[in-house]
């Protein structure tokens, strides 16, 4: 069973996506903030993390950085969602090509496709990872 951590400050969206993913056979854990999501990640292994980038206080970008520092095997296992597009230079600077980025409103079929793709991603070892880790600190 695929385990998914879903982090979004919108209760309605979080619950709707959690139900949809559960119907597709996922074990879904939810959090309403980046900090709450990070606490779950510290204690529970997950296959994929879906997180909103724009949340009050500790948002998805913070969660992404902290998660990769603590659990580098999650590189490429994030689906990042946002209400507004990030400028292309920022997106290219911040995220590896293996991270998925979707704009709201979300299509559950598109989200599911990205979740499946994330589970197929194998992280590169060696120089690429150490460079990415250095950029996160």
| pLDDT for 90 | 62
Q: Residues with Cβ < 8 Å from 28, sequence gap 6 or more?
A: 3, 4, 5, 6, 18, 21, 22
In terms of DSSP H, where are the helices of 11-107? 11-23, 34-43, 60-70, 88-94
> Starting at the edge strand that comes first in sequence, how are the strands of the sheet with 100-103 ordered?
27-31, 3-7, 48-52, 78-82, 100-103
User: How many structural domains compose the chain?
Assistant: 1
| pLDDT for 128 | 42
H or E element that contains 81: strand 78-82
Q: What pLDDT tens digit does each residue of the chain (137 aa) get? A: 999 999 999 999 999 999 999 999 999 999 999 999 999 999 999 999 999 998 988 989 899 999 999 999 999 899 999 888 776 656 666 666 567 888 899 999 999 999 999 988 644 333 344 444 445 55
| pLDDT for 101 | 84
86 token code pair: 């990030």
Q: In which domain, by residue range, is 108 found?
A: 3-136
| pLDDT for 131 | 40
| pLDDT for 96 | 60
The total of other beta-carbon atoms located within 10 Å of residue 134's CB is 8
| pLDDT for 7 | 98
Indicate which CATH number applies to the domain containing 64.
3.40.50.2300
């Amino acid at each position: 069973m695929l385990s998914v951590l879903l982090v979004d400050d919108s209760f309605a969206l979080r619950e709707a996506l959690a139900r949809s993913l559960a119907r597709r056979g996922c074990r879904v854990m939810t959090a309403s903030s980046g900090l709450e999501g990070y606490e779950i990640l510290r204690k529970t292994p997950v296959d994929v993390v879906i997180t909103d980038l724009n949340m009050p206080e500790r948002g998805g970008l913070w969660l992404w950085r902290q998660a990769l520092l603590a659990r580098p095997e999650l590189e490429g296992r994030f689906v990042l969602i946002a209400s507004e597009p990030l400028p292309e230079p920022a997106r290219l600077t911040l995220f590896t090509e293996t991270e998925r980025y979707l704009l709201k409103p979300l299509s559950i079929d598109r989200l599911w496709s990205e979740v499946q793709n994330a589970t197929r991603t194998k992280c590169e070892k060696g120089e690429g990872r150490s460079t990415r880790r250095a950029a996160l600190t």
